[in-house]
Amino acid sequence: MQKYLRYFNSSLNSPYFYLKNFKQLPRIPKFARKSENDNATENATGGGSWIMDSNLDLLKMRKVFIVEDEPVLRDTLSGIFRDSGFKSVFVAGSVAEALRVYGENLPDIALLDVNLPDGDGFSLMPQLKSIKDVPVIFLTARDDPDDIVAGFEGGGDDYITKPFIPKELVARTIALLRRCYREDGRIVQLDGAAVDFSRAEVLKGGERIPLTGKEHDILLMLYNNAGRVISLDRLCEAVWGDNRYGYENSLMAHIRHIREKIENDPSHPVSLITVKGLGYKLKI
């Protein structure tokens, strides 16, 4: 792993320390590195205020897609994002797998390795963008300036060379999500009510009705995929993560409560619709 992650030899900064302890650390101690890198990280996280940022939770509901052919690094990357609070992380190890997984999950941001066993990230990017146009970060050992320029000229939004710093990678990803999905902080108008995701409140008939954390997560998942049917399994995964099994009844209870808050007539919903045998969808 040394060749992928910087500062490996210090136990504090090793990826394993990082993965195990990320949630407990309010801030990772500063790395010894150039000041412009420090500035880049600070700016990307809004001056270090990311823990207090209410919109951050919304951004972390966005789906992250990682293409990396090195299995250990692929798992490490996935772990870095999950431990940073991202709920939906999808991975692929080749061009062929990337096209399949991307098409199935329609992510919101993609991190692409360049050297892949059956092709390269540069030519993969337009294929992915033709399925769904999302921001792309190249994450590669190729640090030749011509490669970096090619990455940007081809339509990439950022270019990070290995070895990389996990915290900086997450910060850059969040910064890019923030630029590309500014609407995440806005109020969403539904048929019978409006939803203020940043405050986790429903505005209905002049009242502000609070959403519970689970109700908020379910509604946000549906909103991020508005108009599309989302299966019970996907919703459970968005709310309970990998421990999602056995929560179907619980999910249905949450759906009922959400309808009581957002629908004029909860027994005849017009916004949060049941699609029999498939799941739920949100009509906007």
Provide the binding-site residues for Ca ion, judged by CB under 5 A. 69, 113, 115
Closest distance of CB 120 from Ca ion, Å: 9
Sheet arrangement for strand 207-210? 187-189, 194-196, 201-204, 207-210
53 versus 69: smaller Cβ distance to Ca ion: 69
- Least distance in angstroms from the C-beta of 114 to Ca ion: 7
Q: Which is nearer to Ca ion, 115 or 127 (CB)?
A: 115
Between 58 and 77, CB nearer to Ca ion:
77
Q: How far is the CB of 72 from Ca ion (least distance, A)?
A: 12
Query: 107, exposed or middle or buried, with CB in 10 Å at 0-12, 13-18, 19+?
Result: buried
Shortest Cβ 69–Ca ion spacing (Å): 5
Beta strands in 117-260 (DSSP E): 119-120, 136-140, 158-161, 187-189, 194-196, 201-204, 207-210
Residue nearest Ca ion by beta-carbon distance: 115
Whole-number Å distance between alpha carbons of 120 and 124: 6
Kindly tell me which of 4 and 50 has the beta carbon lying closer to Ca ion. Answer: 4
Residue 246: burial class (beta carbons within 10 Å; 0-12, 13-18, 19+): exposed
Residue 268 has phi, psi (to 5 degrees) of -130, 70
CA–CA gap between residue 197 and residue 57 (Å, rounded): 10
Instruction: Please state the closest distance from residue 170 (CB atom) to Ca ion, in A.
Output: 20
| CA 64/CA 88 separation, integer angstroms | 6
The distance from CA 282 to its chain's CA centroid, rounded to whole angstroms, is 20
Query: C-alpha angle with apex 155: 40 to 98, nearest 5 degrees?
Result: 100
Cβ closer to Ca ion: 10 or 115?
A: 115
Q: Report the residue number, 2 or 115, with the smaller CB distance to Ca ion.
A: 115
Cβ atoms of residues 155 and 129 within 8 Å:
yes
d(CA 192, CA 150) in angstroms, rounded, equals 49
Cβ 73 to Ca ion, closest distance in Å?
8
First-to-last alpha carbon distance for the chain, in angstroms, is: 46
Pick between residue 69 and residue 97 the one whose CB is nearest to Ca ion: 69
Q: How far is the CB of 110 from Ca ion (least distance, A)?
A: 15
